[in-house]
Structure 1
């Protein structure tokens, strides 16, 4: 069984080629530019790992993994436009470099080309893979809309937030694994547990991401600590604090969210500390990680084949960046 790092290198070798025609260069160069920025490429490699969990990796897995990576980058281009973000991975975003109209088209064509790659796989897999891919793409868009809706609401329930994270983040992680498992010949029971492993891991990953925004080392995390607090972004920690605060702390927290105090981040973190939200977030992350492991344990393959997924899961939820 291969480590994530080894499979990531194999995928990079396969993926780092031109995916679009030469003309019109004003459109296709924007897409190539964004793909050239790089990224962790967790989702496509999870597809390869899902395949290798059950059988030797087949060439079709690289086609599906490429489609997954193109889809993910399509969502990032559009997310950056919606967020009016100037940078992505410390480089200018596509809309900053090429303009919003070209960025929209670059994202759109990236999604179209993703489906072109799906059509390259063996005919017996096309229907199942494309159905799952399309369902997942729709769910990710639903999650993004819910995320935007929540920005306009004063109060968001924890169950609502978890559902949004499932759609926006977890389902693509889960579907990447399941698509790989399908190509590896897994049965429906194993595919169910593989999907649930990914879904729970995706939620744990987001809890860690929210935690790092408040408590991470900026030198490792790559961005200013407390950015979500400054932006009043609803996260696991803020929603829990709003739900569990007493009357006095709730009033203080709402006042801080409504204002722009110079020490806003420090004051909000102080309230989080008083409410033990940081410890709660750690426990929540462990809950979803344990759920992920429970489903991985249920998959009917020898334990040694699961080790790369176990190690990757541990890394993703304990990372400091």
Structure 2
């Protein structure tokens, strides 16, 4: 079986080999630009890994894997516009480097290009693969809308939040794995179990991200710790704290959430202290472990020898062992 690193290199080569027209430059240059910003290429690599796990030809799975990567980057271009984000992976976002209209239109073309790539799968499974891809794409958009809705809502519940991250983050992992499994010749039941594995793993990963944003080491986590607190982002920890806080704790938390002119460091310290008092980190970690256990349960049920599932098992363990 191919190693994850080899599969990532295969995707990287595929991305570099993608060719787009030269004109109009404002339409196509942003696509090349965003794809060249890199990233770990984990989603398309997982598609290849799933295909390989069932004994399929990973070479034939490269175009649909690239479709996943192009689609993912399309969502980033449009998300950055909605978030008015100036940077993506340390470089100017597409709408900052060009303009918003260019970002919207280039993103639209990226979605079409993703479909052109996904259409290169074998005709015998094309309808099933398109159905997975369409369902996944709609789910990601629904998740983004729910996330934006949460910015205006004060009564977000844990179940609603978990559903949002399932849609926005986890279904793309599940969809990539399921498509790879079908290309590799997996039975429908095994492909569905692999989808469940990816979906549950994706939810666990996002919960871990919520935890590390507050409690992580910034040098190891790779971004500013406390950013979610500064922006009042509705994460598992904040939603749980609002649910549990009473009396003076609730008033203090509300004060920090409504104070737009406070010192960021003081806010991070104060809100983290409330989190510690309410033990919301422990609640989040418990939920995270529940989802990772569900992921491993689904992987265990797949009718393959464990050695063929070992790489995915190890990948999941490695993903959930980011240092804090």
**TM-score category, normalised to shorter length:** over 0.9
Query: 1:316: which partner in 2?
Result: 319
**Counterpart Cα distance in 1 of 2:7 and 2:207:** 26
> In terms of mean alpha carbon deviation, does 29-38 or 114-123 score higher?
114-123
The question of whether the paired residues in 2 share the 8 Å contact of 1:208 and 1:318 is answered with: no
- Structure 2 unmatched runs, 5+: none
TM-score by length of 1: 0.97
**Deviation of residue 243 (structure 1)?**
1.0
The question of whether the paired residues in 2 share the 8 Å contact of 1:169 and 1:202 is answered with: yes
**Deviation of residue 220 (structure 1)?**
2.3
Answering whether residue 293 of structure 2 is matched by residue 293 of structure 1, we say: no
Answering whether residue 120 of structure 2 is matched by residue 120 of structure 1, we say: yes
**Deviation of residue 56 (structure 1)?**
3.3
> In terms of mean alpha carbon deviation, does 226-235 or 124-133 score higher?
124-133
**Counterpart Cα distance in 1 of 2:247 and 2:17:** 57
The question of whether the paired residues in 2 share the 8 Å contact of 1:285 and 1:317 is answered with: no
Query: 1:95: which partner in 2?
Result: 95
**Deviation of residue 2 (structure 1)?**
2.6
The question of whether the paired residues in 2 share the 8 Å contact of 1:2 and 1:308 is answered with: no
The question of whether the paired residues in 2 share the 8 Å contact of 1:242 and 1:250 is answered with: yes
TM-score by length of 2: 0.96
**Counterpart Cα distance in 2 of 1:63 and 1:230:** 40
Deviations 1:23-79 (A, max 9, x none): 111210111011110111111011011111111334331111000000000000000
Q: Say which structure, 1 or 2, has more relative contact order (CA 8 Å, 6+ apart).
A: 1
Answering whether residue 272 of structure 2 is matched by residue 269 of structure 1, we say: yes
**Counterpart Cα distance in 2 of 1:163 and 1:99:** 33
- Of 275, 282, 286 in structure 1, the residue corresponding to residue 285 of structure 2 is 282
**Counterpart Cα distance in 1 of 2:288 and 2:235:** 13
**Counterpart Cα distance in 1 of 2:171 and 2:91:** 27
Deviations 1:94-137 (A, max 9, x none): 00001110011111100000111122222112111111101110
The question of whether the paired residues in 1 share the 8 Å contact of 2:162 and 2:203 is answered with: yes
The question of whether the paired residues in 2 share the 8 Å contact of 1:78 and 1:104 is answered with: yes
Query: 1:184: which partner in 2?
Result: 184
Deviations 1:224-243 (A, max 9, x none): 11111110000011111111
Secondary structure (helix, strand or coil) at the match of 2:2 reads: coil
Answering whether residue 234 of structure 2 is matched by residue 234 of structure 1, we say: yes
> In terms of mean alpha carbon deviation, does 200-209 or 14-23 score higher?
14-23
Deviations 1:274-293 (A, max 9, x none): 11111222222111111100
**Counterpart Cα distance in 2 of 1:268 and 1:130:** 45
Answering whether residue 51 of structure 2 is matched by residue 51 of structure 1, we say: yes
RMSD: 1.2
Deviations 1:210-263 (A, max 9, x none): 111111111222221111111000001111111112222111111111014320
